[in-house]
Structure 1
Amino acid sequence: MYEAVQAELFLIPLDRDRVWYRYHHMFGRLLYNRLTRQYAEIVPELHRRASEWFRINGYTVEAVEHAVAAVDFNTACELIVQEASELLRNEMHMLLRWFGQFPENLLIHNLAVLYAWSLATFDRLEEAEDVLDRAEPYLDTGETELQSLNDEDILGYFAAMRCMICLGRNETEKAVVYDEEIMRRLGGVGNILAAKC
């Protein structure tokens, strides 16, 4: 490896101290293609191990990427839920890309609010509303990403999403009704209309 670094063959430094490197993307793709052709059966396990390493070392995006590549959607789901606020702030495009690969039942049962929020952020309001409509019957079962919260909080988050959708459609009167529900259920924590003013 040292010789390859010295000769700067196929490697790109990621930091000033030259501790972290990555392969040139074309060389990395070549190696990955060879791996998947010759050792396809171990590729998911390698992705699972990489996901775990990235999780332990605090690299959530990379951990989710490898979990999704391993088709380990339960782990990817847990990681997304644990880091939801950070991902919603900085990785909205990634979230939508990941969600596009998830099985439908996980999206509806475990990621409904996050999925709807991501869709609404990109003005895909009808799709966001459809996700909420399909997920609401499961609220009473505790089969949602917000199962650690109480029922009032869960319903408050759903109301917050519906309020956002109404605001996106300029349906102010409906938004006010949902905003009142948010105030009642979340005690003002999620007062969307106040935040919009």
Structure 2
Amino acid sequence: MGNRLFRIYYRTCIACGSNCDIVGEESLEAVEEIVMALRRNAHVLGHGWVFRAEAGIHDGVVNEIVEAIENGSAGSIRSMLEAGWRFEAAQALYVFLTRIEQPLIPVSIQSLVLDNNNANIPPEMVASDVLGLIKEQLPPTHIRLLALILHLLDCSIKLSPADELRGHTLPVSMLPVFFNIQNHHLMREWRRIITIFVEIIRQASSALNVFQHIS
């Protein structure tokens, strides 16, 4: 990339060590099993279900799937999905993501979104720069994890009502998984941050270009 924001943050990302991985290959394969199943059934399940605990959800199954993700037991997850535990798998995936000890987007890269100095830069450009840094700086497994989750969010948003407030409910709920969001960010700048995050979600499929093998 050659744009201005990339040049500003490139050295910062190197210095902060943003190439540290956050997920193992086996756990990533387990995540992919869940994402594939949820994408295949998205239109059947409808909007508003992904990453939200539903009434009557089986907590024991959720915990079992979380453990299977952490252990990289893709076969066990496949069997449970075939048995119909889709809502539980979605909730387990969310739990797994919240247990990762750092946000999915490294601090040095998420600064592009959270930095108030970028307030006048178009959200589309900021999102493009964030995805460019992700592709340039992060290990392949980290990139695939981000791509899988962002694409799943995109699928869910596309099934959501057109109303702006309701359509942004899912991105708002997922902000803490991707960013170090503080209260002052939410009070002063949440609309700008959410707009950029939605753009990141929308652009991720083509920008990260890793979906051919799961389409």
Q: TM-score, normalised by structure 2?
A: 0.27
Relative CO higher for 1 or 2, CA cutoff 8 Å, sep ≥ 6?
2
Larger radius of gyration: 1
Q: TM-score, normalised by structure 1?
A: 0.29
